[in-house]
A = this chain, B = another copy of it.
Amino acid sequence: MNDIDRLIQIMGRLPGLGPRSARRAVLHLLKKREALLHPLIDALGEVAANVKTCTVCGNLDAADPCTICRDASRDGSLICVVADVGDLWALERIATFKGRYHVLGGVLSALDGVGPEQLSIAPLLRRLEGGEVKEVILALGATVDGQTTGHYLSDRLQPLNVAISRLAHGVPVGGELDYLDDGTLIQALKARQKL
Protein backbone atom coordinates (compact mmCIF):
# COMPACT_ATOMS: atom_id res chain seq x y z
CA MET A 1 0.00 0.00 0.00
CA ASN A 2 1.46 3.39 -0.94
CA ASP A 3 1.66 6.48 1.28
CA ILE A 4 -1.48 8.12 -0.10
CA ASP A 5 -3.61 4.99 0.22
CA ARG A 6 -2.39 4.43 3.78
CA LEU A 7 -3.30 8.01 4.72
CA ILE A 8 -6.74 7.66 3.08
CA GLN A 9 -7.33 4.45 5.01
CA ILE A 10 -6.43 6.08 8.35
CA MET A 11 -8.44 9.25 7.63
CA GLY A 12 -11.42 7.05 6.73
CA ARG A 13 -11.45 5.70 10.29
CA LEU A 14 -12.32 9.14 11.70
CA PRO A 15 -15.98 9.54 12.65
CA GLY A 16 -17.87 11.41 9.94
CA LEU A 17 -15.42 10.47 7.17
CA GLY A 18 -16.00 7.45 4.92
CA PRO A 19 -13.65 6.15 2.23
CA ARG A 20 -14.94 8.65 -0.34
CA SER A 21 -14.71 11.75 1.82
CA ALA A 22 -11.34 10.61 3.20
CA ARG A 23 -10.07 10.52 -0.39
CA ARG A 24 -11.41 14.00 -1.00
CA ALA A 25 -9.85 15.28 2.24
CA VAL A 26 -6.43 13.80 1.40
CA LEU A 27 -6.53 15.32 -2.09
CA HIS A 28 -7.43 18.66 -0.55
CA LEU A 29 -4.52 18.36 1.91
CA LEU A 30 -2.10 17.58 -0.93
CA LYS A 31 -3.28 20.65 -2.83
CA LYS A 32 -2.94 22.93 0.20
CA ARG A 33 0.37 21.76 1.62
CA GLU A 34 1.46 25.05 3.16
CA ALA A 35 -1.99 26.26 4.16
CA LEU A 36 -3.38 23.02 5.53
CA LEU A 37 -1.19 19.90 5.47
CA HIS A 38 1.77 21.30 7.41
CA PRO A 39 -0.40 23.19 9.97
CA LEU A 40 -2.43 19.99 10.49
CA ILE A 41 0.71 17.92 11.12
CA ASP A 42 1.97 20.55 13.58
CA ALA A 43 -1.38 20.83 15.39
CA LEU A 44 -1.74 17.05 15.68
CA GLY A 45 1.83 16.82 17.01
CA GLU A 46 1.17 19.52 19.61
CA VAL A 47 -2.00 17.81 20.79
CA ALA A 48 -0.32 14.39 20.91
CA ALA A 49 2.58 15.81 22.92
CA ASN A 50 0.75 18.16 25.27
CA VAL A 51 -2.85 17.14 25.85
CA LYS A 52 -3.44 14.81 28.78
CA THR A 53 -6.34 13.64 30.87
CA CYS A 54 -6.93 15.73 34.00
CA THR A 55 -6.33 13.47 37.01
CA VAL A 56 -9.00 15.34 38.99
CA CYS A 57 -11.99 15.56 36.64
CA GLY A 58 -11.09 13.59 33.48
CA ASN A 59 -11.14 16.61 31.16
CA LEU A 60 -8.59 16.79 28.30
CA ASP A 61 -6.20 19.71 28.61
CA ALA A 62 -2.56 20.73 28.28
CA ALA A 63 -2.43 21.28 32.05
CA ASP A 64 -3.04 18.72 34.81
CA PRO A 65 -5.09 19.59 36.85
CA CYS A 66 -6.94 21.13 33.91
CA THR A 67 -7.69 24.83 33.40
CA ILE A 68 -11.22 24.39 34.77
CA CYS A 69 -10.06 22.53 37.91
CA ARG A 70 -7.40 25.23 38.53
CA ASP A 71 -9.74 28.16 37.96
CA ALA A 72 -10.27 29.67 41.41
CA SER A 73 -13.24 31.73 40.17
CA ARG A 74 -15.24 28.53 39.58
CA ASP A 75 -17.62 27.27 42.23
CA GLY A 76 -16.00 24.23 43.83
CA SER A 77 -19.21 23.33 45.67
CA LEU A 78 -20.94 22.36 42.41
CA ILE A 79 -19.91 19.35 40.31
CA CYS A 80 -21.49 18.55 36.98
CA VAL A 81 -21.16 14.84 36.08
CA VAL A 82 -20.94 14.14 32.33
CA ALA A 83 -20.40 10.92 30.38
CA ASP A 84 -17.81 12.25 27.99
CA VAL A 85 -15.37 15.11 27.36
CA GLY A 86 -17.55 16.08 24.36
CA ASP A 87 -20.43 16.72 26.76
CA LEU A 88 -18.16 18.90 28.92
CA TRP A 89 -17.23 20.90 25.81
CA ALA A 90 -20.92 21.31 24.94
CA LEU A 91 -21.66 22.68 28.43
CA GLU A 92 -18.63 25.00 28.27
CA ARG A 93 -19.89 26.42 24.95
CA ILE A 94 -23.10 27.67 26.54
CA ALA A 95 -20.92 29.42 29.19
CA THR A 96 -23.69 29.18 31.77
CA PHE A 97 -22.32 26.64 34.23
CA LYS A 98 -19.67 28.03 36.58
CA GLY A 99 -18.94 24.95 38.71
CA ARG A 100 -16.51 22.10 38.09
CA TYR A 101 -16.93 18.85 36.16
CA HIS A 102 -16.47 15.13 36.51
CA VAL A 103 -16.11 13.02 33.37
CA LEU A 104 -17.30 9.43 33.84
CA GLY A 105 -15.72 8.18 30.61
CA GLY A 106 -18.96 6.62 29.36
CA VAL A 107 -22.28 5.31 30.64
CA LEU A 108 -23.26 1.98 32.13
CA SER A 109 -24.19 -0.44 29.38
CA ALA A 110 -25.03 -4.10 29.79
CA LEU A 111 -24.80 -4.58 26.02
CA ASP A 112 -21.31 -3.09 25.73
CA GLY A 113 -20.16 -4.69 28.99
CA VAL A 114 -19.59 -1.35 30.75
CA GLY A 115 -19.97 -1.75 34.52
CA PRO A 116 -19.38 0.74 37.35
CA GLU A 117 -15.68 -0.29 37.55
CA GLN A 118 -15.08 0.84 33.97
CA LEU A 119 -16.35 4.35 34.77
CA SER A 120 -14.72 7.05 36.88
CA ILE A 121 -17.17 6.56 39.77
CA ALA A 122 -14.77 5.74 42.62
CA PRO A 123 -12.76 8.95 41.91
CA LEU A 124 -16.05 10.92 41.96
CA LEU A 125 -16.96 9.49 45.37
CA ARG A 126 -13.47 10.38 46.65
CA ARG A 127 -13.92 13.96 45.42
CA LEU A 128 -17.13 14.18 47.48
CA GLU A 129 -15.49 12.90 50.68
CA GLY A 130 -13.86 16.27 51.42
CA GLY A 131 -17.28 17.80 52.09
CA GLU A 132 -16.63 20.86 49.91
CA VAL A 133 -19.14 19.75 47.26
CA LYS A 134 -22.74 20.66 48.03
CA GLU A 135 -24.51 19.70 44.78
CA VAL A 136 -23.96 17.15 42.04
CA ILE A 137 -25.71 17.72 38.72
CA LEU A 138 -26.13 14.56 36.65
CA ALA A 139 -25.87 15.88 33.07
CA LEU A 140 -26.34 12.56 31.26
CA GLY A 141 -28.04 11.85 27.97
CA ALA A 142 -31.77 11.07 27.96
CA THR A 143 -31.06 7.58 26.63
CA VAL A 144 -31.78 4.29 28.39
CA ASP A 145 -28.09 3.87 29.30
CA GLY A 146 -27.75 7.52 30.34
CA GLN A 147 -30.79 7.29 32.61
CA THR A 148 -29.67 3.95 34.06
CA THR A 149 -26.31 5.53 34.90
CA GLY A 150 -28.12 8.48 36.49
CA HIS A 151 -30.23 6.20 38.72
CA TYR A 152 -27.17 4.17 39.70
CA LEU A 153 -25.18 7.29 40.59
CA SER A 154 -28.03 8.84 42.54
CA ASP A 155 -28.24 5.61 44.62
CA ARG A 156 -24.50 5.71 45.27
CA LEU A 157 -24.57 9.42 46.18
CA GLN A 158 -27.67 9.21 48.39
CA PRO A 159 -25.76 8.34 51.64
CA LEU A 160 -23.45 11.33 51.14
CA ASN A 161 -24.55 14.72 52.26
CA VAL A 162 -24.97 16.31 48.79
CA ALA A 163 -27.92 17.58 46.79
CA ILE A 164 -28.41 15.61 43.56
CA SER A 165 -30.10 17.04 40.49
CA ARG A 166 -30.46 16.11 36.84
CA LEU A 167 -30.98 18.15 33.66
CA ALA A 168 -34.61 19.06 32.86
CA HIS A 169 -36.44 17.07 30.21
CA GLY A 170 -38.88 18.87 27.97
CA VAL A 171 -39.60 20.48 24.64
CA PRO A 172 -36.29 21.45 22.96
CA VAL A 173 -36.05 25.14 22.08
CA GLY A 174 -37.30 25.54 18.51
CA GLY A 175 -39.11 22.19 18.72
CA GLU A 176 -42.64 21.71 17.44
CA LEU A 177 -45.03 19.59 19.51
CA ASP A 178 -46.19 17.83 16.39
CA TYR A 179 -42.77 16.31 15.76
CA LEU A 180 -41.88 15.43 19.36
CA ASP A 181 -41.72 11.85 20.51
CA ASP A 182 -44.26 10.73 23.14
CA GLY A 183 -41.66 10.33 25.90
CA THR A 184 -40.50 13.94 25.63
CA LEU A 185 -44.08 15.23 25.53
CA ILE A 186 -45.01 13.20 28.63
CA GLN A 187 -41.98 14.57 30.52
CA ALA A 188 -42.70 18.12 29.37
CA LEU A 189 -46.29 17.89 30.57
CA LYS A 190 -45.38 16.33 33.94
CA ALA A 191 -42.69 18.95 34.60
CA ARG A 192 -44.87 21.87 33.48
CA GLN A 193 -43.98 25.16 35.11
CA LYS A 194 -46.31 27.69 36.70
CA LEU A 195 -46.33 31.09 35.01
Contact = CB atoms under 8 A, between A and B. Distances in A.
Given A15-B25, A17-B17, A89-B23, A3 B37 contact: no
Interface stretch (A47-55, A136-144, A169-177, A187-195): A47-55
A44 to B, nearest CB: 5
Nearest to A25: B14
A129 interface: no
Contacts of A24: 15-16, 86
A3 B7 CA distance: 22
A3 B38 contact: no
Contacts of A3: 43, 46-47, 50-51, 62
Given A4-B61, A40-B44, 4 more contacts: A2-B61, A7-B40, A16-B17, A23-B89
Nearest to A90: B23
Contact of A6 (B2, B26, B46, B61): B46
A77 interface: no
A28 B17 CA distance: 12
Nearest to A46: B3
A165 interface: no
A60 interface: yes
Nearest to A33: B48
Contacts of A37: 44, 47-48
Nearest to A43: B7
A65 B147 CA distance: 60
B48 A41 contact: yes
Contacts of A84: 27
Nearest to A84: B27
Contacts of A4: 47, 51, 60-61
